[in-house]
Structures are given as structure tokens and as C-alpha cells.
Structure 1
Amino acid sequence: MPGYANEAGWKSETERPAFTAKNRLRFLRDYQKRAVQALQDAVAEGRSRFLFEMATGTGKTLTAAAVIKLFLRTGNAQRVLFLVDRLELEDQANKAFVVYLKNDYTSVIYKERRDEWRKAEIVVTTVQSLLFNDKYQRLFSPTDFDLVISDEAHRSIGGNARAVFEYFVGYKLGLTATPKDYLKQFDSKKSNTRDPRELERRLLLDTYRTFGCESGEPTFRYSLLDGVREGFLVNPLVVDARSDITTQLLSEKGYAVAVADDDGKEATESFYQKDFEKKFFSEATNRLFCETFMRNALRDPVSGEIGKSIVFAVSQNHAAKLTQIFNELADAFFSGKYQSDFAVQVTSLIPEAQQFTINFANNKLLGSANFEENYRTSKARICVTVGMMTTGYDCPDILNLAMMRPIFSPQDFVQIKGRGTRKHDFLELLFDPVMKQQLGKQEKTRFKLFDFFANCEYFEEKFNYDEVLKLPQPQSGEKPELPPLPPSGAFQYGGADTLAAFGEHQIGERGMKIDRMFFNKFEEQAQGDTALKTLVENAQWDQAADYVHRHLFDKPKEFFS
């Protein structure tokens, strides 16, 4: 609505909120405008590849829509390809583009309009769809798309997917919520490694190179800390819950079990957190996890039922166990309200799992309005998943996340935590004016992050962000030394388990250490400045402080302070 400012509904400040909502007007926030302007500046410098590093919940899709409109309106693109790496993200992105751009342009999902996609300005598809039988080469010309946007770029251009991305000529924009600063460096002169962090870092560095950011600086960055500080995102209330069993699994000695060796003699075998639900199984521990969650989860402020939640399990089998326990507990906690539809397993082996994720976000998974007929919210309250709902999944009314598994990847941890950081107005889906008035303002100001394996502590205190990863170099003529085999066999614990420790801690504006790693770049930049180094070595502290203020602070790209 280009003429919105001249409408009476906009001119009246009292009517403006209702006018904006009725006409679904969307305005770019200041930082989203800065992202678009940063891209324009990059084009002016002759660049054709760009990377936006924006925290989960800061509107990457809306910003992408603005970029698309800019390119189409100015004639710099006739058609845009938007690449995602999962089916539910395909549907999510296309719906967003239809809402944002329907008055100007047509957006379609390729597989739904195979014969008519040329009639649309925006084509959304999964990378896998174009890769199948080399479809991208057989059915498309390299010049069919003038702008290619890769959502969750660190995932959708990995491996074979790179071929699809590079096939099309023209401008390339990558979107990612995962900064590269979690892992410092690795010794690239060595040939290979078993350390997954090295692979993760290579993937992130490769993402930066692919989008023309060899310096390691994205075209535009907006972090979780920025979003929290400016009131657009929320930080978690961490619930640290440890049982007798997990406390032992987390210890240096592990959970020791007496077993018989090959000769029939008694031996000791130890299990650790990485073995949980892989080699070490405990029904009592899983039940304790679920009971602790049910008693402490945040409630929906309108209906009073347990807030929408995502639980992350070790494996598909583990997800099935947890789903069953949750449904049993729901029958006990809320008699007659749920018929095994309180919790739903959402993993790749479950038919319709992709649709489940969409229905959960749209508040109609297995029904809706279970407690309050005028309030639309999903009847199913918990999705139990392994990896399907970790990245790019947009569901702002999530109130609880539970890590019922150990996590060792900083990227996975950030993505899981990011599922809860979006703000939400719960009154949007309440259609009873009287109730709205009675309840007053009901905005999401926090979410609970249940941590049953001390993951937050690990990334705050134990994970070595500065470690230089040394990769093993096989000697010529010799076989590389392999790590010892893990202990053989599985152990089924049949006893009871009780809560050993329980605590809640609200994360403040300063964020978690993993959120602050961005500031390590200031340290690197300062230490790499030879003029500053000379002043420090000569103990010229006043001059050094003045130099920092004049040369390092408040520069347009970083805004260190």
C-alpha cells in the first residue's frame, strides 16, 4: 500500500495500530534497512555475492523479501530463486513471500508449478529437488535466475548442493544465523581430523568464501545480543536439572558398571553422557526428565495449558520413548483432555512429519482450541524431535525447549536455543474481545530452556573456543593411530532415579558466552594493530586509549565500543 501515509486510519494515532493490522502493513526495522543498504554498498563496490549473518528471529525472510523487491523493482533481476534445504522451510518461505509481496509479484513453489514457474518472479524450492537426476541442468538455463538466495546458507550449499548454487549466474545472497566465530582456527596444513569441530569450522569458513567474504566479515551482521538489547528478541530462563544418573554420566569417572570380560572375570566398564540412549539406557531417567518438565514448564498465558514446546532427543528410538511417557503423564496431569495427542514424535521415519512441523507452527497439530474455544493454539503441545526442527523453524509462540540429550556442537546449541528467542503476542490468536480486555497485555518476555545434560555449563565454562585444532598427520608407510574402540555392549539400568540438583537462571542482556564470541574479534583486531602494539609495549597508556577510541571504536562495519 504505497499510499498508506495518506490514509485516514494511518493519520489517526489511535486508529493506526488497527489500520496497520487490518492492512497487514510490514515495515522494515532499522537494522533490516541497514542490511539492505549494506548490500547496495557492496554492489556499488562491484561485488555480486553477499552474506547476511542475522540471529534467529530477526526477520531474515522479511529482509530477503525487501532485497527481492529491490532487485525486481530496479530491473537488476527478472526472476529470483530462493533455495532452502528442507520441505517445511519451502512452504514457510513461500507463504511469507506471498504475504509480503503479493501486491507486486508472484511467488511459487517449483514442484507445485513445474509447468508454469516461468510466469512467477520468485521460485522457491529445496536444493534436493533440483539435485535429483541433475534436474537443475536438464530443466534450467544458467541465466534463468538473476538473483539466487540461499537460506540457512551454511547448510544449503554444503556437499553436492554447491553445484546447484554455482550453476546459476548473477547475484548470490546467503542468509545464516550461525556466526563463524565459535571456533578459532585449525591447523590447515594437516590433512584430516576426527574432531567434528574442525569440520564445522571448515563448513562455516567455506560459507564465507562462497559469498565473497574471504575476510571473515559478512556483508551485514545482527547478533542475538543486538536483538535482545533492542527489544526484538528474548533470552532464556535456563532450567538446569540433573539426576543421580546423569550426574554420574557427566562426571570424569562416568557411571561404572561391573561386567564380565572375555575370560569370565569381573571387570569395570564406564559410561558417559555421550553413551546415553546409545549404550546406556535408563527408563527411570527418561521418566524423570519428562516429569520434571511437566511440573516446571511455562504455561500458555491465555489457556493455562502447558506452553508449546520442542523436546530434543538422542535418536528416533529415544524420541518414541519420550513421546509415550509424555502422553502417559498428560493423561494423569490433565485427565480426559488429551487422548495420546499431547506429545507427537516428529522425526524423519514418521509419515507426515514435515506436515506436522507446519501444522504445529500454524496451531492446528492434531486439532486446536482444546482448552479455550475462542483461542487458536495447537492441541498437541510437545513435538519430540531429533534434528528436524533445529534450524530455520519459525514458531514464535514456543515457550519451552528441552535438551534431553548432550550437545557438543556450538552450532547445534545456538540453533536449538534460537527456536525460542522470537517474541510473540499471545492475544493475536484470541478471538474473544471481553477476554482480551480482562487479560491485558500478554507478550512473550522469556522462554524456558530445560537442560538435562549440563549443555549450558559446557559451552559457558568447558568448551575451548580458542583451541587450535591439530589434525593428525599420517606418517608415510605407517598406519595412522586410531582411537581405542568404545566399550562393547549396552547396559540397561533397571533401578530408580531421582533429581539430584535443580536450578533456574535467567540469562540477562549480556547473554551467554557463546553469544559473546563476536567480541573476540575486537581482541584480534586490537592485537593485530602494529601502531597500537607499539604504544602498549612502550607503556604509553593515554596515547593507546586515545588510539583505540579514534581508530577502533564506532567504525561503520563493527561499531565496537
Structure 2
Amino acid sequence: MAEINKATLTEADIISKYLLPAIKAAGWDDLTQIRQEVKLRDGKVVVRGQMAARKKVKSADIVLYHKMGLPLAVIEAKANKHEIGKGMQQGLDYARMLDVPFVFASNGDGFIFHDKTNGQQLETEVSLVDFPTPDQLWDKFCSWKGYTSAQLPMISQDYYSDGSDKSPRYYQLQAINKTIEAISAGEDRVLLVMATGTGKTYTAFQIIWRLWKAKAKKRILFLADRNILVDQTKQNDFQPFGSAMTKVTGRTVDPAFEIHLALYQALTGPEEAQKAFKQVSPDFFDLIIIDECHRGSAAEDSAWREILEYFSSATQIGLTATPKETETVSSTDYFGDPVYTYSLKEGIEDGFLAPYKVVRVDIDVDLQGWRPTKGQLDKQGNEIVDRIYNQKDFDRTLVIDERTQLVAETITNYLKKTDPMAKTIVFCNDIDHADRMRRALVNLNPEQMAKDERYVMKITGDDDLGKAQLDNFINPKRAYPVIATTSELMSTGVDAKTCKLVVLDQNIQSMTKFKQIIGRGTRIDDKYGKLWFTILDFKKATELFADPRFDGDPVRVIVTKPEAINDPDDGLSDIIDGADPLPADEGGDGSEPGAAGNTGEGEGTYTTGSAGGSQGGPFDPTGDPQSEVRKFFVNGVPVSIIAERVQYYDADGKLVTESFKDYTRKTLLKECATLDDFTRRWQAAERKQAIMDELAQAGVLWEVLSAEVGQELDPFDLICHVVYDQPPLTRRERADNVKKRNYFTKYNETAQQVLTNLLDKYADQGVTEIETKDALKVAPFTELGRPLELAKKGFGGPQQFEQAITELEQEIYREQQRA
């Protein structure tokens, strides 16, 4: 048998003929310990205009596991023509994502072994026959981690699998494993920070499952503050618990069940008789998971804390997208620093979360302010306090009808230009504002309302009809409602996967609230074409994206001496927006600032929770508890948009205002610094479609670029013109240049007819049309003969015809017109 020439083998051949046999020979089990082509990222979505493309991502060639769910090593392979360790840097990147210490790179001759456990991270060469055994790597791993024998039953417990392809993503695995590791080491307060839309509940389920199956935790409580969160959890992620699980209802904790899901309002209340959690002993639960723990659970006087402190002997895990760090409340003070953090920026870069486009709209009265004339009365006959009203005042202390109308018109026009059926959430300052915005949108969309009166709905805590439609709004299969106007109810806990437009007409100073609101749009749903979303910002709220705290670690600010608030513009918005409100329908009892009834969702009166006995009463920032902050209603004020700009999420996680031409230029120059570099790369490609696909994966969207340039150019000329400032040739000019060169004379008559027709096809439709396999199956080629017949008669056969196409393309792009 002839010896295999290793140099001619592909990467896949190297893996199958050399690497897998070496790994299996060392004792690794093919079914439970070896996985090939492990895709760790989904591919970042790049958005420009109304189009999006996913960047292409590579997969880890091989990942080795102690048991599924507990990765140990990454193996990165290359073809034999490469140096043995060429894949090492790529492997190290995958190892970082999987949090594993062992990386192997190979070209089939042996392995380069990077070992983080040896203290020096040395890289040594290992022969194919000396690949480490599973026990050798596991022992080194355990020593590196410092695991004790008592920890191993928890550490080694399998995660739940239903036999399908669904398994935890790499960051979920890290969150699960780091939490199990912390608990097995005796930690009893654990904080996980994961961006909205990254699967916190699924992660929590896998943590509970492993601890429960390992018999390390026997009675578990999952606590949430929204009915919808509890019900979604029970029906979806927690379903495998089956008959062992119950939802606490009727203020009764049933000891017959092991997994308890509860709305915390069902467990407690202001009266002692309402404290259902006291029906059981303090050691009844040995594990408590607190969902969205930033919403009050950290506050020392909150109802959450009463439950958590009663069951203080239980291990408690806090889940949040936005750890709360304010002058008075800190999640990290209670739970400690997060054992794992996965941010919005990481989620977007990995392609698991939707990027956003921001349309910032500046209205003249917002920027310039508005002042009433002396003695001017509002629509209700009240004299308007004489001062300059600005953006923070509108729809809070002053309502200008024309401004509401202009905002509604802008929303409507955007939807009409893009997708009138795109799920949209409009965040308003209060319920009154949400009512007026709904009415304005209804009146601007009579055709849509005629189809279904649920096209626009107000969904707020005070409106039973609106709340009843919340499930329909978040269900991708239900078309209606399309537009939801809201104040607080939909800012958190609403899993609206197909929400494509988030409108901000609300004053937002709280970073916690801003992150939660942005989280309404960050979910991706490939099935329904939701890859990105737009933020339509009327209140400069998106300036918070530039705040270092937006995607960084929360900063704990300790205030040692309370200061009086003297300036309404400085203080009121912080008090209203800084709270994390709990809607009335979900059991808010007013005991926390921003709780139900105290969210600013009233008719013209703003209140906060009591700090000194005036709970529920009017709040005035000057300190007079009896003074009411009145809302004035005016009309007849000319209002217009003075600026509108579009910003995109860029590679650095920042918002940038740039044209698509700028983006394309920046992207291409990273790959091809000069025109000659690009021309060589273009000409070297056997098929130009491959280059176009590659550039599209990098975010160069041809339709968008062509529209911005305003000319229908060949992709090659588009790039030469936009990136390298070359005057472009049209496709017709390129085709005519080929004909002038008498290039076809070397072919017979049949071939000349075929190539001339293909050249005309290129001039009319572009280069990809002559590369398709079906190019000869349409007129005028069908009049000359069948494709195979033409290939043989004109060129000598299919292979020679393919070669002729390659040469034709080289002729088309042979010379580039210079300035």
C-alpha cells in the first residue's frame, strides 16, 4: 500500500487520520469526552441601513471533556503544510472562552502542548503516541483548581440534557461551573451578572439541576417578583423538574414538593399573617435563587431581605443583568462580587445578542426650551408658572400637544418606511403620557387600526385590557398588538424576542433602568428575522451608552451625609428614575421607593415612597410635603425637528455616526491596505462570489453601499471607488473594453457566441450571474443548444468551460482605470 503524502492532506484529513486515532488511543471516549467542530460563537451581526449580515465564525476543531459540560482541553488542527503549532493562538482564544487550561495545536506530526497548570504556561512538544490520558489531564486540572475530594461529586455532576442538540453556550457553562465550584467550596452567597437575553433562567435551571441531582441541595426556592417570570420559568426552562416542582399559591408552602417557584408577594406582606414563608422552619430551604436581584432584594429594609434573612442558612444565588449600586442599595454588599459576568457588549460581539442602531431625534423646544407668556393659562385654565421649561419637564410637568403629535408622527413615519408590523415599545414618562401617546398613534394609523384595533395598545399597570394583551405582544406568532405604549410595566421581565423598535420618550437617568429598557430589544430570533433593533431616542437617553458604567463594573458610591435637593432638574428625575418600580398588578406594596402607586404614573402628581411618613402623598423637591408638582397642558406651540442622526454600534462597542461608505473603507483597509492588494486578491479568486460573500460576512452589504453611492456599479468598482478613490467604470464599459481587445478570437464560433452573451449578461446583471451553474439554462443560450452540448462543442468539456469563465473574469478586471 502506497504511503500517504501527508503534505497533500486537508485539515479534515489530518484530524480523522492522525489526531482522533491518537486521542482515542490515549483512552478518550468518543461518545462522552470528544466533540468536534464546537461552535462557540454565533457570529456578530453587523447592521447598516435596514440590512444586517452575520460575520462568519470558526469552530473549535476538537474539545475534550471530563464529562459533557466540564471541558478540559482544546485541540486546534492545521493542514500539514503549516508549522506544527500554527493553530495555538486560535486555540488559546477558545480556551479562554471555555475557561480550560490545556491547549493542543497540531499539523498531524505531533502536538504542541500549552499547559496553564504548570505555573509557567510552557509550550512543549508531545508525540502522537504520547497524548495525555483523561485521568492525567483531570488530575492536573483538579490540582490546578484546588478541588478537594468532597467537592468532586458536585463538580462532576452532569448537566441536564434531553438528547437534543441544545446544550449550554460557552458563557452559560462558565456561569454554571463557576457557581457550582463556589458552592462546593462552601460559599453560600453567589452573584451572577448576565446581560438581558443571555439565558439567566436556563443557567439557573442547570445549576439547580446539578445540585439537586448530586443531592447537595434537596429543597429549592426560585424567587421572582413578576407573575409572568414565574409562569414562564415553570412552563419553559424548569419543565424537566416535572412533578417535583410547584408554584406557591394561596400563601401556602407545600412540603410535599422539592422545587418551589414563588412570587415573593405570595410569601410575604406587611401583616404578620401574610408572611407565608414562616409556615416552614428557617432551614426548610437549602438553596434559594433570586431572579432579577437588583430590584429591591439588596435593600436592607426590603421584603425580599426579610425572606432571605429568615432562610439565612440556605445557599442564596442572585441573578441579575444590572447589579444595583446606588447610594443606599448594593447587590454586591449582600451577595459579594460576581463569580461570573457576561456583558451586553460580549453578547453582541459573540452574536448571541442583537446590536442596535440609534436614531437620535432633537426637537427644537427640547433643546431651546419654552417659556409661557406673562399670565398665560393652560388648557384647563390654570396659570402656568413662569419659567423656562426644557426637555426634562415635557410630559412630566408640562405637556405640549404638538410635541406629542410630532413624536407620534416620527414613530409612524419610521414604521411606514421600514416595517409597519415591527413590534414596538414606546416608553413614556407616566400613564397619562402613555394614554396620550396611544391616542396620537391611533389617529395617525387609521388603516392599520381598521385591520385590527389592537395595532396600538397602552400596556400599563393600571389597565387590565392592556395587560391582558401582554402575552400576545411578546408571542412571535401573534401579529397584534404591534405598538405598545407603556411607562414602567414593560421595562423589565418582558421577553419580547421580536421587538424591533424601542422608543425612548422618557427621562432616564438611572443606569439600571436604562440597561433594562435596552434589554427589551437585545434578544435575537433568527426564525422571525429579528437580528437587530432600532432605538428611536427623543430624550437624549442614549447618551448613557457613553457612560463608562454602561458596560463596565458597577461602581459603589457611598453617601455619608444626605444632602437636601434644591434643584428640581437635578433631583426629581434621579428620585423618580433611580427607583426600580414594581407595577401595581404584580403586588407592589409601596414599601420601596418607586413601588406601586409611587412611580410617577399618576395624573399630574409625582410621589415617592415614604422617607418620613408621607408615603403616597404628593412629593415636592423643595421639601414641602403638601406642595403638589402640577402638570400643565398647553397647545398652539409650534414644534419641529431640528436634527436627526443615525448611529451604529461599532466594533469597539461604542456608538458611532458614520456613513456606510466610511464603514466599508475602514473594514477593507484592514484587510487590503492598497489598491494593488485588493486587485490581486480579487483576481486570485477563482469565483468572485466567494470574495463578495466574505466581504458581506465582514459587514459590507452591497445593496446598502450601492444605494449610498447612488450608482449601480460592479462590486469591484464599488470598492475601488469608495475605498481607494478610483473613478469607477460601469459594467457596460468593462464589457466593451473586453470586446475591443479581440479577446474572443482564440475561440471557435460557438464559444465566441457563448462568451459574448455571457459578457452582455455581466454588463446587465453583474459578475455573479455568469458564475452560476444555471447561466447556460436560460435564453439566449438555450437557443444555441443544451448546456453540456455547448460546453463540449465550444470548449471541449465542462472543465474547460469553467476555465474559460475564469479567464473571462480576469479579462473583465484586467485593467483598472486610473485617475
Q: TM-score, normalised by structure 1?
A: 0.69
Which whole-Å deviations, capped at 9, do the CAs of 1:80-127 have from their partners, x for residues lacking one?
Answer: 11111122222122222344x24x664332117x76843433211111
Distance 1:283 1:297 in 2: 21
The 1:259–1:462 alpha-carbon spacing in structure 2 relative to 1, beyond 3 Å, is farther
Q: Does 1:246 align with 2:246?
A: no
Distance 2:362 2:403 in 1: 10
The 1:336–1:417 alpha-carbon spacing in structure 2 relative to 1, beyond 3 Å, is same
Q: Does 1:210 align with 2:334?
A: yes
The residue type equivalent to 2:540 in the other structure is A
Secondary structure, in 3 states, of the residue corresponding to 1:293?
helix
Secondary structure, in 3 states, of the residue corresponding to 1:76?
coil
Secondary structure, in 3 states, of the residue corresponding to 1:238?
strand
Q: Does 1:225 align with 2:345?
A: yes
Q: Which residue of 2 aligns with 1:195?
A: none
Identity in percent: 27
Contact 2:195/2:321 (8 A) holds in 1: yes
The residue type equivalent to 1:167 in the other structure is Y
Which whole-Å deviations, capped at 9, do the CAs of 1:411-461 have from their partners, x for residues lacking one?
Answer: 11111111111111234xxxxxxxxxxxxxx3x221001100111125527
Q: Which residue of 2 aligns with 1:425?
A: 526
The residue type equivalent to 1:457 in the other structure is E
Select which of 191, 196, 215 maps to 1:75: 215
The 1:146–1:290 alpha-carbon spacing in structure 2 relative to 1, beyond 3 Å, is same
> What displacement does 1:160 show?
2.3
Distance 1:164 1:466 in 2: 27
> What displacement does 1:231 show?
1.1
The residue type equivalent to 1:210 in the other structure is Y
> What displacement does 1:240 show?
0.5
Which whole-Å deviations, capped at 9, do the CAs of 1:273-296 have from their partners, x for residues lacking one?
Answer: 221112211111111111111221
> What displacement does 1:244 show?
2.0
Distance 2:630 2:475 in 1: 45
User: Which structure 2 residues correspond to residues 252-401 of structure 1 after superposition, within 5 A?
Assistant: 254-260=369-375, 268-297=386-415, 305-332=420-447, 334=448, 336-339=450-453, 341-351=454-464, 353-363=466-476, 376-401=477-502
Distance 1:225 1:410 in 2: 15
Contact 1:298/1:399 (8 A) holds in 2: no
Contact 2:191/2:319 (8 A) holds in 1: yes
> What displacement does 1:306 show?
2.3
Secondary structure, in 3 states, of the residue corresponding to 1:233?
coil
> What displacement does 1:246 show?
2.1
Which whole-Å deviations, capped at 9, do the CAs of 1:212-265 have from their partners, x for residues lacking one?
Answer: x1xxx31111111111111111221001012222222xxxxx32223349xxx9
User: Which structure 2 residues correspond to residues 13-32 of structure 1 after superposition, within 5 A?
Assistant: 26-32=166-172
> What displacement does 1:37 show?
1.4
Instruction: Number of aligned residue pairs: give it.
Output: 429
Q: Which residue of 2 aligns with 1:118?
A: 255
The 1:471–1:244 alpha-carbon spacing in structure 2 relative to 1, beyond 3 Å, is farther
Distance 2:516 2:308 in 1: 23
The residue type equivalent to 1:202 in the other structure is T
Select which of 507, 511, 520 maps to 2:649: 507
Q: Which has the larger radius of gyration?
A: 2
Q: Which residue of 1 aligns with 2:634?
A: 492
Higher relative contact order (CA 8 A, sep 6+): 1
> What displacement does 1:379 show?
1.6
Distance 1:46 1:138 in 2: 26
Select which of 238, 241, 245 maps to 1:107: 245
The residue type equivalent to 1:490 in the other structure is F
Which whole-Å deviations, capped at 9, do the CAs of 1:131-173 have from their partners, x for residues lacking one?
Answer: 1344334422222222100000011514122101221231110
Which whole-Å deviations, capped at 9, do the CAs of 1:366-422 have from their partners, x for residues lacking one?
Answer: xxxxxxxxxx33321012111111123212111110011121111111111111111
Q: Which residue of 1 aligns with 2:509?
A: 408
Distance 2:449 2:493 in 1: 35
Distance 2:385 2:519 in 1: 44
The residue type equivalent to 2:321 in the other structure is A
> What displacement does 1:462 show?
11
Q: TM-score, normalised by structure 2?
A: 0.48
Distance 2:562 2:291 in 1: 36
Distance 1:142 1:353 in 2: 40
> What displacement does 1:489 show?
6.7
Contact 2:246/2:257 (8 A) holds in 1: yes
The 1:96–1:463 alpha-carbon spacing in structure 2 relative to 1, beyond 3 Å, is closer
Distance 1:276 1:117 in 2: 50
The 1:461–1:71 alpha-carbon spacing in structure 2 relative to 1, beyond 3 Å, is closer
The residue type equivalent to 1:447 in the other structure is F
Contact 2:434/2:486 (8 A) holds in 1: yes
Distance 2:403 2:515 in 1: 25
Distance 1:483 1:472 in 2: 18
Q: Structure 1: 5+ residue runs without aligned partners?
A: 14-20, 184-199, 249-253, 364-375, 428-441, 475-479, 514-561
The residue type equivalent to 2:192 in the other structure is F
Which whole-Å deviations, capped at 9, do the CAs of 1:16-61 have from their partners, x for residues lacking one?
Answer: xxxxx99765310111111111112212432111100001111100
Distance 2:452 2:217 in 1: 51
Between stretches 227-236 and 135-144, larger displacement belongs to 135-144
> What displacement does 1:509 show?
3.4
> What displacement does 1:78 show?
1.6
Secondary structure, in 3 states, of the residue corresponding to 1:306?
coil
The residue type equivalent to 1:36 in the other structure is I
Distance 1:69 1:406 in 2: 41
Which whole-Å deviations, capped at 9, do the CAs of 1:307-337 have from their partners, x for residues lacking one?
Answer: 11111111111111111222222214x3732
Distance 1:71 1:466 in 2: 32
The 1:65–1:488 alpha-carbon spacing in structure 2 relative to 1, beyond 3 Å, is closer
> What displacement does 1:353 show?
4.8
Contact 2:427/2:506 (8 A) holds in 1: yes
Distance 2:173 2:373 in 1: 63
The 1:358–1:488 alpha-carbon spacing in structure 2 relative to 1, beyond 3 Å, is closer
Contact 1:107/1:122 (8 A) holds in 2: yes
Q: Structure 2: 5+ residue runs without aligned partners?
A: 1-29, 39-160, 377-382, 569-620, 623-628, 656-819
Q: Which residue of 2 aligns with 1:165?
A: 308
The residue type equivalent to 1:160 in the other structure is A
Secondary structure, in 3 states, of the residue corresponding to 1:108?
strand
The residue type equivalent to 2:235 in the other structure is K
Distance 1:489 1:47 in 2: 51
Secondary structure, in 3 states, of the residue corresponding to 1:275?
coil
Contact 2:205/2:238 (8 A) holds in 1: no
Contact 1:298/1:307 (8 A) holds in 2: no
